[in-house]
Amino acid sequence: MSTGPLAGLRVIDAATLAAGPLIATWLGEHGAEVIKVEQPDGGDPLRQWGAQRDGVGLMWKSLGRNKKCVTLNLREAAGRELLRSLTDRADVVVLNLRPSTLRRWGLDHESLAGTNPRLVTVHVTGYGAGGPKSDRPGFGTLGEAMSGFAHLTGSPDGPPTLPSFMLADGVAALTATYAVMMALYHRDVHGGTGQLIDVNLIEPLARLLEQQVLTYDQLGTVPARTGNRWDISAPRNTYLTKDGHWIAMSGSAPTIAMRALRAIGRPELTHDPRFAEAQQRLRNAPEIDRLMAEWIGEHTLDDAMAVFEEAEVAAAPVYDAVQLLDDPQVRARGVYPRLPDPELGEMRVQGPVPRFSETPGSIDHLGPELGAHNEEIYGGLLGVDAGRRRELQEQGVI
């Protein structure tokens, strides 16, 4: 039995791909029992998503950590009945089917709460409930586009730029995870009922980009792409070193910006109003960029970083995966533990974030094979006898 802070909490992960399953992954790292529901014919598409080794999806191995995997065909009435039996015994269910599909199948929150009023339902969709787009399929790429992220990302003379990782899904999942904890607090501390959490792939990311809306609302201007620069901070860019590496720098705090100028041997500029005063410094950001680029371009990565670290400048190397794993801070904190796995032998994945002093998260196992826990869940938790389980399997329900 888990000893994490969420021990005793049962979560049904009946969602697919990234955002919904991520919510369950994070809850499972901290003690919740997570039952992952997948279609019998292939399972969650996340299993085939991205890099593979010997036919095993690497991202699945990480996102499937600590989950008990069962197969269940929700297109069949018997499958939907089994899911309702699971949610009747659960605290949280995570779904990402279209709203009309949930209603048609009797899996909407109102129907599920009819037999389990304590249930917290997390419904992740592309656009959110209500409105003309509520029933359209949506993916993180569309959220990254519609939130304004792509509009602000990239070079000024280049196209809008999409991230090469699951940004919108991740931000939506983080938002929904803290929402689950608030809903459980309302239920368990304030004596309330369960409730529906409606989260989509646009609004959580748009919240982080709210400055563009505030600027337009109050000043009538639409922020444009500025590459790696940012119009609230200078210096702020990536700079190429003499030996072909990149350094990122941020001067968001005035004191840090002044340290950076002194570190490159230009202390006189800290008394120049063009650079010492915050708004003036932003107006003269191209000149500060030029000075930083010239100085860094004359130094190797190691030499430049030695100067910046001594001067306590906010600068860091731009890492690839190899450099990240080799960083002494990352190694000292054990960020990427090696874990055994029956399919891959062993695998490095990132450990739980954040870290708790009294109730640390844990990884008990990586993503299991499809249907690995059918007998435990259907036979043990739900009490379905062996004969009936064989029938359901023959009928393609499990």
**How much of the chain is in helix, strand and coil states, percent to nearest 5?**
45, 15, 40
Which residue type does 288 have? I
End-to-end CA distance of the chain: 26
Tally Cβ neighbours within 10 Å of residue 238: 14
Candidates 44, 108, 169, 198; catalytic one: 169
Residue among 370, 371, 375, 364 nearest 57 (CA): 370
**For this structure, is 272 an active site residue?**
no
Distance of CA 298 to CAs 157, 247, 266, 291, 301, Å? 27, 13, 15, 11, 10
How far apart CA 120 and CA 9 sit, in angstroms, is: 11
Which residues, 6 or more positions from 195, have their beta carbon under 8 angstroms from its beta carbon?
A: 109, 120, 121, 183, 186, 187
Place of tokens 């109003």: 273
> Which residues are the active-site residues?
169
